[in-house]
Amino acid sequence: MRILGVDFGDSRTGYAVSDPLGFGVTTLPACKEKGMAKVADHTAALAKEKEVSLIVLGYPKNMNGTVGPRGEKTKAFAELLKERISVEIKLWDERLTTVSAHLLMNETNVRGKKRKESVDSISAAYLLQSYLDSVK
């Protein structure tokens, strides 16, 4: 069963997909579409293409565990996505995934445009791997 990890954002939305056994994660190209409906369309098409049985959507929370405006926007995105695809969508705490992605890119000396284009999909990979680790 493949699982799609999604790091929803205003400028770019990052994606990662698990292998069929749920051990490893591969990043996919980020979506640069603007507008929640267009991103939901793209995400639904990608989920169908990759034949996923679950979508793990990064759910941004504040460090104290409360949900702010970004979290509410993510919930709205999840509702739009549910209208487009009949795959289960699980909201998953994504605190510090972007920080982890930036740290990894610092260690591997990724800079400039490549860094900007990669950070969201790497964040999606971190959140998906976190989910996979929790269910093992």
pLDDT tens digits, 75-129: 999 999 999 999 999 998 876 556 555 555 556 555 555 545 566 788 888 889 8
* 29 phi, psi to nearest 5 deg: -60, 145
Domains annotated for the chain, with CATH where assigned, are: 2-135 (3.30.420.140)
Smallest CA-to-CA distance from 57 within 25, 103, 101, 14 is with 14
Residue 11 has a pLDDT of: 86
In angstroms, rounded to a whole number, what is the distance separating the alpha carbons of residues 5 and 71?
A: 16
pTM over 0.75: yes
The strand order across the sheet containing 88-93 reads 25-31, 13-18, 2-7, 52-59, 88-93
